[in-house]
Amino acid sequence: MRSDDDIALFDMDGTLCDFDKALFRDLEKMRSPFEEEYHPPIKDDAPSYIKERAEMIRSCKSWWANLPKFQFGWDVLDIAKKLDYEIMVLTQGPRRNPSSWSGKKLWIDKNLGKDVGITITRNKGLVYGKILVDDYPPYIDGWLKWRPRGLVIMPANKQNQNYSRTNVIRYDGKNLSEVYDAMSIAKERKSRESLKI
């Protein structure tokens, strides 16, 4: 039986959606035969023309609405559904790109259904959940700052391979039973009780 606070928060980019795969695919379409491949994520030291191309790609609402699924996130989503968590999407909204906001909502409606809750925010630490599923360490750190007894499931990628923290399980496709057990414990944990995983 679900209580009112049995909420699992799911990030989109790099968690439910394969953002990097889609961005690389579309950057490749614009690459000259004389240029080297450039793989996301787009860092500050990336050439300006790569940043501008990436910005142009991400400015299209339909690009966001049609992002491919990322299997690791969907594996965790299946567990959350089996354990009867309330599913909510918690995603960051780029400041200068309002098209992404509506595109993300279209993606959610198409892939998760129109009744799934969504919060688009600049600060994920403001939002309550028993569990956060997110791939990006700074967002995880910000959320755990206010929820030290919360559980984070981190879909593995190259950018978070060296990240380690209490209450965070990095899911790499091989430890699904560990994820299931931890999510079960988090669901049964009483308010103000420590998370023992």
pLDDT-based confidence at residue 60 (cuts at 50, 70, 90): very high
Could you give the CA distance from residue 70 to residue 155 in angstroms, rounded to a whole number?
A: 9
What b/e string do you get for 80-114 counting C-beta neighbours within 10 Å, with b at 16 or more? beebebbbbbbbbebeeeebbeebbbebbeebbee
* For residues 185-197, average pLDDT: 82
Burial class of 192 by CB neighbour count within 10 A (0 to 12, 13 to 18, 19+): exposed
Query: Which has more confidence, 174 or 122?
Result: 174
Could you give the CA distance from residue 115 to residue 89 in angstroms, rounded to a whole number?
A: 11
Q: Has residue 1 got a pLDDT over 60? A: no
* For residues 139-161, average pLDDT: 95
* For residues 35-48, average pLDDT: 87
Strand partners, 88: 9, 117
Structure tokens at 135: 């791939």
Q: Has residue 153 got a pLDDT over 80? A: yes
Q: Could you give phi then psi for residue 84, rounded to 5 degrees?
A: 65, 40
Could you give the CA distance from residue 64 to residue 183 in angstroms, rounded to a whole number?
A: 29
Task: Give the CA angle between residues 183, 184, 190 to the nearest 5°.
Answer: 100
Among the CATH numbers 3.30.1490.20, 3.30.70.20, 3.40.50.1000, 3.30.300.30, which is that of 7-18+68-188? 3.40.50.1000
Q: Which residues in the chain are classed under CATH 3.40.50.1000?
A: 7-18+68-188
